Each structure stands twice: as C-alpha cells, then as structure tokens.
Amino acid sequence: MEVKKKVVSFLGKVKPAIKKTKTFLERVNDAIRRLIILLLSLFEKHQQLRVRYNQYDVEGNIIDNMVRVFEVRKIYKCTPKHMKFKVMSGKMVELKTTSPMDYILEDL
C-alpha cells in the first residue's frame, strides 16, 4: 500500500501531492455553490440572448454568419457594438465588435 504525501504551502494550507485530485471538502464546496446558484436562479428573471454577427465582403455579400445563444441572468450593458452580461452559471461574458451585432432578447 502506497502512502500519499501531502505538501504544505506557505500559508499553511494542505495540498494533495497529486495534482488534479480534489479533496472531499472541495467537492462539498462545489456542490454547495452549485446548489446556491440553482436556488437563486429560481427567483431570477430568465432571458435568452441570441447574438448574430455577420461578416461582409467588399461587394456587400455575407461571408460568415455567427450565431451564439446565451441564458442570461443579468445584463449590465447592451449596445449594438458592446454587450456585457452574466450567464446563469455565474460567469461574466463581454462581447465587443467593431461593426454592429444583431441581437434578440427573449423572456423565458
């Protein structure tokens, strides 16, 4: 049976010797965080944001059409060239372009 050694960092926190392994307390912390986000999302206004960005060639024909769909928790800034919002998972998303984007915001 192999004994796993633990490494103590400068602040006194114990780290597992093998990277990519989570301790039991880290897993419990992640589960509690996901549960809190789920409970908060029940009382928030759900919105779906569809962003379409078209690229044109010299003649004005559409070359590329990119469509992204987001589940939005809160919108901080929404202009045709700059959008900043928070998705349901809690991550901040910021979209910036030089030409205007088309977007549709729907309540779910």
Measure the CA–CA gap between 51 and 62, rounded to whole angstroms. 16
Measure the CA–CA gap between 108 and 46, rounded to whole angstroms. 5
User: What pLDDT was estimated at residue 4?
Assistant: 52
Per-residue pLDDT tens, the chain, 108 aa: give them: 444 555 555 555 555 556 566 678 888 888 898 888 788 777 777 889 998 887 778 887 877 788 889 999 889 998 888 999 999 888 999 999 888 888 888 987
pTM summary value: 0.56
Measure the CA–CA gap between 71 and 87, rounded to whole angstroms. 6
User: What pLDDT was estimated at residue 76?
Assistant: 93
Measure the CA–CA gap between 83 and 97, rounded to whole angstroms. 9
Query: Which residue, 49, 39, 53, 51, is CA-closest to 87?
Result: 49
Query: Which residue, 73, 83, 90, is CA-closest to 51?
Result: 83
Measure the CA–CA gap between 74 and 71, rounded to whole angstroms. 10
Residue carrying the six token digits 């901040």: 92
Measure the CA–CA gap between 100 and 23, rounded to whole angstroms. 46
